[in-house]
Each structure stands twice: as structure tokens, then as C-alpha cells.
Amino acid sequence: STMADSPDTMRLNRYLALAGLGSRRACEGLILNGEVEINGNITTNLATQVGPRDVVSLNGKEISASKFQTIVLHKPPGVHCTKSDPKGRPTVYKLLAPQHKKLHYVGRLDADSEGLLVFTNDGDLTQQLTHPSHKVEKEYIVTLDKPCRSERVAELLEGIQLEEGLAKAAAIHVISPRRMVIVLEQGMNRQIRRMFAHMGYEVERLIRVRIGNLTLPDLKMGKWRVLEPRDIAKLSETYQGGRK
């Protein structure tokens, strides 16, 4: 058998990590300590593969890996939110590990924007994060090409008419004349850039730092990490009626 994951088997440490028992490295420790059994036999071999019919237990207690996977990426600017780009431009999927290529992104960021991007294969979570009725807050740090007067800031809160309807910010915190934090509950395409363009400003930098209760983790640009079950629970708490 090879070390690589085949479609229906996976490395034991990955299985344990997906079951919420910690990072893969922490899970390797559990295996090496002899705390993990497969089908009733203790295994300390890190290369062990787990298949769909295997029963895995930790200290005698059966565990199961979640079939759902959710990861967060710190998207760099200049990278496109698309599966494949006909022009051969860099895409977010080039930054992910092979086993994450089937995940879909939730709430895209345009090529020039950066920051928090969630990928998942969990349909409920996708619905919770994207359905307009949930009014999930998304927070951005915006840098403009020139100072923005306070009466223009007020216009963003009142709303600006775009083709799809009234685009408005839910909250704004001014950091400096050219920088502000903007919270949106809507999700129109390129909304912040278009709102400012409408007022004669150009957005020089746009970073998404929060979706619901999930903030951009301390990740270097271009890096990703798997969300632990507690992070996903935090993301679900954002909604009334989220899975308890």
C-alpha cells in the first residue's frame, strides 16, 4: 500500500484530526503512545491507513472522523477565486493541499482582495454563511486612494443605489482619513469597491478580517489551516438556528 491517501482510505493521523482530536502532529503522539486501536488492535505505525469499514478507537472509545471538512485560507492579492483559470492566472486552489481540491469556497473574494476565505464541503455551513436571511457580518479593512470626508462615510451607512439594489454598510469604524473598517451584511459582487467607485474613490487595498464570529487567524498570507470542530461551532453560533 502506498503512503498517499487513496480515495476511500486516509492516514490514521488525518482521520484522528478530522475526528477533532487535535492537530495531525498531536494525533501522531496519541498513535505513538499506543492509545489508538484499529479493529481492536493497538497500532503505533504512523503510516497506517484507515478504510471505511475500519473501527478506530482511542483508549477503548470508538471515534469517527467527520466527513465534512472546512479550512480557512489567508488569500493573497492577485490570486483568483476560481477552480481553474483559462488564462493560466494563479488560483486559490493552487495554494491548497491536494485533498482540499474538492472543497468549495464560501463567499468569494475578488482577485485584488485579500484575507479570510473559507472552503468547505458542508452544505449546511455554506447555507448558514451565504443565505441573505442570516445577515452574517463580514468585516473588511479598506484603504482608499484619497481621504474620505465624514459626510461621505455617512452615505455608505445610508446606502448607495447599485443595479441590484441599495448597497449599504452595517457599521463603519474610521481608522484614518484613508483607512476604515467596514462591516457588511449583504453580499453583492465587488460591493465595497463599487460603493466607493460610485462616490469617486478607488479602493487600494481590501482585506477581509472576519466572517460571523470567525476572525482571520494568525496565518501568513497564502497559508491555510483546517478548522477544528470548536472553530466550526463558533462559526455556526453566528446564526440563530445554527446547529447546536
Cell of 112: 485584488
By three-state DSSP, how is residue 110 classified? coil
Q: Does the annotation mark 110 as catalytic?
A: yes
Rounded CA-CA distance 233/20 in Å is 12
Q: Dihedral, CA atoms, 193, 194, 200, 202, nearest 10 degrees?
A: 20
Rounded CA-CA distance 239/136 in Å is 8
Exactly one of 110, 112, 145, 231 is catalytic; which is it? Answer: 110
For residue 38, the surrounding DSSP H or E stretch is strand 36-38
Cell of 8: 476511500
What is the β-pairing status of strands 56-58 and 36-38? antiparallel
Find the DSSP H helices in the chain. 12-18, 24-32, 123-130, 150-158, 191-198, 229-237
* Count of alpha carbons within 13 angstroms of residue 27, beta-carbon side: 23
Phi, psi of 15, deg, nearest 5: -60, -45
Q: What is the DSSP letter of 145?
A: S
Rounded CA-CA distance 66/19 in Å is 6
Q: What is the DSSP letter of 23?
A: -
Question: Which are the catalytic amino acids?
Answer: 110
